[in-house]
Amino acid sequence: MSQPTQPLLDIKNLSVHYRGVGRRPFKAVDDVSVQVNPGETVGLVGESGSGKTTVGNAALGLAPIAAGQIIFDGQDITHASHKQRRAVSADLQVVFQDPYSSLNPSRTVFQTLVEPLLVHRKLTRKESADQVAAMLEKVGLAKSAGARYPHHFSGGQRQRIAIARALMLSPKLVICDEAVSALDLSVQAQVLNLLLSLQQDLGVSYLFISHDLSVVNHMCERLVVLYRGRVMETGATSGVRDRPAHPYTQTLLSASPIPNPGAQRRQRELIALAARPARPEAATDACPFANRCPLTIDVCETTVPPLTKSSAGTLAACHRKDEAAVAFTAAAEHLEDAER
């Protein structure tokens, strides 16, 4: 598999450490690599404390990078200067989770949306007003919305405004950090549809950060599964979802309830069988999942598992990925038999 194009965002062996007060530095992200190709949507999945948001923040210059390299659109932005960051920011944007604190309450929607234009484009007042109006229409809001303050809008509408702000400069990549997690199901569907249609129209890439497997499965072409700051498994979405080789990915998948009472009952029986940790007291320095994994053996406590190709086709950081993949496939077949 040769890569014809250079990745748009190339995060190489990133580590982010936060200094605790008088304590050892906390490794929020440890040796994580993620690539996003032009026009692609990549999902970063994990539970709280997995470091998924920190990876996004590092790319945006909002986190202290201890080691590694971040290349965006051919430029090294690992330790970008203010000037360099400003140049990149037209092409690299973000939509945050909280639609309430991500908009300045004392500025109108127009003021919020015109700000990126003032920084990056030299436009007349008329031209910027036209661009703001066009963008509001694109994200499904009335032109008159520009004159209002954020508190006039519902959570879903605010998220549309945040998306509009991110897209004002036609960026190449938008980092969506739990962008739909705070929204109700019907509004979430509206916003996901909006993101997909904007991607079709504008060719923008997304780095989609979420804890919600159903959302990333729907939105992303490739997934990166993180656990306690490390990559556990990565690959095409269909591979990670249907043939996961890492026991952590398997745990995560089988823990998400299926919205179908019968199927969920059978899945639950499977969890009960598989989810018993082999060594609850195992050391987690080599493999962070060793104390929760049903397959832990000696090597898991001593040697960091490399991220290599599994028999199922994904890349997994596990010493026992082949056994795990086989066990999962067998269980899935068992489930399908039960379904029939």
Partner 1 sequence: MATRAAAPTEARRRRSHLSPVAWIAVVVLVVLLVAAIFAPLLSPYSPNANDLEATYGHISAAHWLGTDDLGRDLLSRIMYGGRGSLLGVAEALAVYLVLGLTFGVLAGYLGGVLEAVVVWVADVSFALPQIIVVLSVLAIFANNSGAAMLALGILGAPGLAVFARGATRTVREELYISAARVSGLRTVPILVRHIMPQITGSVIVQVSLFSGTALLFQTGMDFLGLGTQPPTPTWGGMVAEASTFMGRDIWMVMPSGIVIVLAIVAFGLVGDAAQDVLSAAKGQGPTRTPASRIATTSQATEVVDRDETLAEVSDTARLEASREPRTPLAHVRGAEANGVRDARSDVPRGDGVLLSVRNLTVAVESSGASIVQNVSFDLRPGQCLGIVGESGCGKTMTALSLIGLLPDGVSATGGSLTFRGEDLRAMDEKQYRRVRGSGIAMISQEPISSLDPSFTVMDQIAEVVRRHSDMSRQSARAEAMTLLEQVRIPNADTVAKRYPHQLSGGMAQRVSIAAALAGNPAVLIADEPTTALDVTVQAEILQLLRSLRETGLAMILVSHDWGVIADSCDAAVVMYAGQVVEEAAIANVFEHYRHPYSYGLMESNPQFATAPRTPLPAVPGTVPPVGEWPVGCHFAARCQFASSECSAAPIALDQVERDHWARCIHTDQVANSAKVGVA
Site for partner 1 in 71-130 (CB under 8 A): 82, 85-90, 92-94, 96, 98, 100-108, 110-112, 115-116, 119-120, 126, 129
Which residues are bridge partners to 69 per DSSP? 12
**Nearest CB to partner 1, comparing residues 162 and 312:** 162
Size of interface with partner 1, in residues (CB under 8 A): 87
Is residue 186 a contact point for partner 1 (CB under 8 A)? yes
Q: How far is the CB of 302 from partner 1 (least distance, A)?
A: 25
Q: Say how far residue 146 (Cα) sits from the centre of its chain.
A: 30
Site for partner 1 in 194-253 (CB under 8 A): 196-197, 211, 213-215, 217-219, 221, 237, 251-252
Tell me which stretch binds partner 1 (CB under 8 A): 15-23, 26-34, 55-63, 299-307: 55-63
Binder among 8, 42, 44, 133 for partner 1 (CB under 8 A): 133
Q: Which one among 143, 203, 273, 333 touches partner 1, defined by CB under 8 A? A: 143
Q: Give 238-264 as a DSSP string.
A: HHHHHS--SHHHHHHHHHSPPSSHHHH
* Interacting span for partner 1 (CB under 8 A) from 11-19, 258-266, 294-302, 331-339: 258-266
Residue 14: CB minimum distance to partner 1, A: 18
Residues 6 or more apart whose Cβ sits within 8 Å of residue 335? 263, 266, 267, 270
- The residues, any chain, with a CB within 8 Å of residue 216's CB and separated by 6 or more, are 43, 45, 208, 210, 223, 237
Residue 199 and residue 187: Cα distance in Å, rounded? 18
Write out the DSSP string of 26-39.
EEEEEEEEEEE-TT
* Residue 285 in the binding site for partner 1 (CB under 8 A): no
Give the whole-angstrom CA distance, residue 251 versus residue 50: 15
Q: For the chain, how far is it from start to end, CA to CA, in angstroms?
A: 38
Per CB under 8 A, does 19 bind partner 1? no
Smallest distance, Å, CB 222 to partner 1?
A: 12
